[in-house]
Structure 1
Amino acid sequence: MTASRFPRRRLLSGLVAGMLALPLALSGCGDDKAADGKTELSFFWWGAEARAQLTEQALALYTAKHPDVTFKKTWQANQGYFDKLATLTAGNDAPDIFQIDDNYLAEYASRNVTLDLAEYQKSGKLDTTKFPKGLLDYGTVDGKLAGLPFGENTQGLVYNQTKLEAAKVALPTTGQTWEEHIAWAKDATTKTGVPGTMDPSADYKAFWVWLRQTGKELYNGTELGFTQADVQAWFELWKGARDAKATPTPDVIHEGNATDVSKQLVVTGKALTSWVWANQMPELQKNTKDQLGVIAYPGDASKQWPRASMYFSVFRGTEHKEVAADVLNFLANDPEVGKILGTDRGLPSNSDIRAAVAASTDNPSMKQTIEVVGELAKNFGPAPTVPPAGHSTVRSELIKAAEEAQYGRATPAQAAEKFFTAAQAAIKK
């Protein structure tokens, strides 16, 4: 069965919350089968074409081993994915299994859209014994396992090793302070003619790590975990970097804020570093002839955490709960699937599968990513709670406010006030 693809759609503000607020007509707990004994599960995910092909191969392997189970597969690019998922959910036509991330997991879980997978976990039907505890914690919402973490990830600072070595600039290292990183970037700009670092002031994951290093959090439950003064200090840090010419110009920074991973500034040659997720390293490397390297974000690396790159959740109204749980168990724990999927969705959650992928892959950037995240994991602190409903709006408001400061249309203080007010409103809706 070939996966269909939904057309791209513009994201519509507030659509998810509005759609999810509609009541769901939930089916019973039994697994229904067609008259011929076959079960068809609908399976929905986002990603590039390469991910679509890998996912199809994995699902085809499940059907080969379980001929009575087939899949109605649908995929699309990230743009508009959650609009479509919200529409399907509102019409009580949600996919049996769907991909989700921490922008929306708490929102869907709080409205009882997702099945609590803990029951299958406790019975052993969903084996998570090889998963890092912190990773499982990051899939739990209100005591329920709302999504199976389908890849471990952490923040990664990717740098252009080729250009830096050619200019005899020392490579950045894990453990540099934020101020040291900016000073390094200024020096790199002078010696290479390429801005040393992308300005990450609009990037929530960089802001979150910086907050944790100051003893704060992005969220405390369903409240903000930081103050307006914290935001101002963050924006002022990066204004200083821009003034020192350590970063690109505002138009190029905006390009980095808006583009997908394959066109990040470290790939297009418009900056020597990009602030990404570590598992994106292989995709970045594919798009440049230069050799790339990856380290932790500046500051105390123990404040980074085992983040679930994404999850698979099961629709609570599915008629095929047992089969859906078995599919997730297979995708997470089957060695053959591990070789197929590699690190496309992050480092495999199952530590044995991860080790097997590292040992068998001939992709040097994939090996490097597994090694780097594995090394960082030795110092990981506890994972924060899954972001609350409204997180996606907080992210977009940070971009808007940071760009006001980046373009000089607002001072760091003015931009901080705007963001803090908007962020409070977003999570109180």
Structure 2
Amino acid sequence: MHPATPPTAGAPAGRSHRTPRRRLLRGLVALAVAAPLVLGAAACGDDDSAGDDGKVKLSIFWWGGEARAKLTEDALALYTKKNPNVTFEKTWQANQGYFDKLATLTAGGNPPDIFQIDDNYLAEYAARNTTLDLTSYSDSGKLDVSKFPKSLWQYGVVDGKLAGLAAGENTQGLVYNKTLLTKNGLPEPTTGMTWEEHIAWAEQVTKKTKVPGTMDPSADYKAFWVWLRQQGKDMYKGTELGFTVEDVTRWFELWKGARDRGATPTPDVIHEGNATDITKQLVVTGKAGTSWVWVNQMPELKKNTKDELGVVAYPGDPSAQWARASMYWSVFKGSKHKDVAVDVLNFLANDPEAVKILGTDRGLPSNLDLRRVVSDDTTDPAMKQSIAVETELAQKFGQSPQVPIKGHSKVRAELIKAAEEAQYGRLAPAAAAALFMDACKSAIA
């Protein structure tokens, strides 16, 4: 979820819009395969040299669905309208396979000038010397982060270098079916309820409605991470794991107890929730009373149900949640047009018209002044709800954690595997936890 949108099964490997796929990235400098020394040399060449006609063509690559593609292309078209000498080679695809494709492009010497990335991979790409350090641009004001929450832009710093600019702010949200609860005279969940209280509430929902009260989030790294922070731990500490096998065992045991009480769906339905994209989450398919998502996904969820939805923080102390960069824009270090690429990033984050176009698709606007403008201008009730909830939660946010270390994406995948071993009853919680810890140590080695 990529938190962002989870992968869509069977999604195409790549799509171009308005320009043929074969022309993607044409005109970029040829690079040796993944050689940091060559990347550094390219960065010192005739950067930002336009063609003979003075025109610049930037390649840009992102993941998302049709809606995100349309919004992004509209914003880029506005940039070209204001800067006629700059045009774009635009390519996008679903989350599934996106980072495989990005790795292939980078290793093969055809990286895009600008690419979307998230906190699963930012540290890894920064360590490969692939991302341009944006610090000098932010220091000079060419990349204006003065209206960003400090913790938000700092969540893009890796080893002292600003490796990515937050494309939006997000946080974890527990989305529930308000219509289901109201119809059955049941109370709504509230921010601040404990995990045990949430499970007890979900058990009552199941008994009264015959709809399982809550999706089982034991495979969801977002929920696990928040829970860890509430225990005084964290996902990572420096270059190591920030938790122990005992912590994982307690987490798996918590949700085994919930399953045993009927508070969650059956394992097959839980797996469906683990494996499907945001449009098919259990809260909108009617297979559970809640889903564990990102707050900015509320509009997309709402499109897929006639029921009214509500959203609160994850259970426990809400100060464990933070102003997360939903995803980032990064610039390839070897781009021939670095200055122009950075100007595009600044435009997408700080131009009032562009920010209105992009809305909350990639999270709440990073620029706090423009976030208020988007909230005032939007006619989308779900978007207003997303902004209002996160604005309220922002008063309770704690300090951001460090950007996840290399191997985080593998850790996420291994949590799903281990949690499902426990969900299906193939392993006891302690054994599943041990399996997960071994896989984590291998992933970050």
TM-score (norm 1): 0.95
User: Are 2:148 and 1:146 aligned?
Assistant: no
Listed as ranges, the matches of 1:280-295 within 5 Å are: 280-295=297-312
| Equivalent AA in structure 2 for residue 313 of structure 1 | S
1:75 corresponds in structure 2 to 92
Q: Which consecutive unaligned segments of at least 5 residues does structure 1 have?
A: 7-18
1:117 corresponds in structure 2 to 134
1:203–1:398: 8 Å Cα contact kept in structure 2?
Answer: yes
Listed as ranges, the matches of 1:327-346 within 5 Å are: 327-346=344-363
User: Are 2:186 and 1:169 aligned?
Assistant: yes
In the TM superposition, what is the alpha-carbon distance from 1:230 to its structure 2 partner? 0.2
State the distance in 2 between where 1:32 and 1:186 align: 63
User: Are 2:18 and 1:2 aligned?
Assistant: yes
In the TM superposition, what is the alpha-carbon distance from 1:20 to its structure 2 partner? 5.2
In the TM superposition, what is the alpha-carbon distance from 1:4 to its structure 2 partner? 5.5
User: Are 2:287 and 1:276 aligned?
Assistant: no
Listed as ranges, the matches of 1:347-426 within 5 Å are: 347-426=364-443
State the distance in 1 between where 2:441 and 2:241 align: 7
State the distance in 2 between where 1:338 and 1:318 align: 25
User: Where in structure 1 do 4 or more consecutive aligned residues deviate above 4 Å?
Assistant: 3-6, 19-24
1:134 to 151, 158, 161: 151
In the TM superposition, what is the alpha-carbon distance from 1:221 to its structure 2 partner? 1.3
| Equivalent AA in structure 1 for residue 18 of structure 2 | T
In the TM superposition, what is the alpha-carbon distance from 1:23 to its structure 2 partner? 6.2
1:207 corresponds in structure 2 to 224
State the distance in 1 between where 2:313 and 2:35 align: 39
2:265 corresponds in structure 1 to 248
User: Are 2:119 and 1:90 aligned?
Assistant: no
State the distance in 2 between where 1:208 and 1:81 align: 24
- How many aligned residue pairs are there? 416
| Equivalent AA in structure 2 for residue 309 of structure 1 | S
Query: What SS does the aligned partner of 1:319 have?
Result: coil
| Equivalent AA in structure 1 for residue 343 of structure 2 | D
2:28 corresponds in structure 1 to none
What is the Cα-based RMSD across aligned positions, in Å? 1.3
Query: What SS does the aligned partner of 2:175 have?
Result: strand
Q: Deviations over 1:170-225 (max 9, x none)?
A: 00000000000000000011111100000000000100000000000010011000
1:20–1:108: 8 Å Cα contact kept in structure 2?
Answer: no
In the TM superposition, what is the alpha-carbon distance from 1:226 to its structure 2 partner? 0.4
In the TM superposition, what is the alpha-carbon distance from 1:22 to its structure 2 partner? 7.5
Change (3 A) 1:4 1:406: farther
In the TM superposition, what is the alpha-carbon distance from 1:86 to its structure 2 partner? 0.5
State the distance in 2 between where 1:33 and 1:159 align: 52
In the TM superposition, what is the alpha-carbon distance from 1:396 to its structure 2 partner? 0.3
State the distance in 1 between where 2:19 and 2:126 align: 27
2:336 corresponds in structure 1 to 319
Query: What SS does the aligned partner of 2:196 have?
Result: helix
2:202–2:212: 8 Å Cα contact kept in structure 1?
Answer: yes
Query: What SS does the aligned partner of 1:150 have?
Result: strand
Q: Deviations over 1:387-411 (max 9, x none)?
A: 0000000000000000000000000
State the distance in 2 between where 1:418 and 1:52 align: 39
Q: Which consecutive unaligned segments of at least 5 residues does structure 2 have?
A: 1-16, 23-32
Q: Deviations over 1:104-144 (max 9, x none)?
A: 00000011100000111011101000000111111110010
Query: What SS does the aligned partner of 1:106 have?
Result: helix
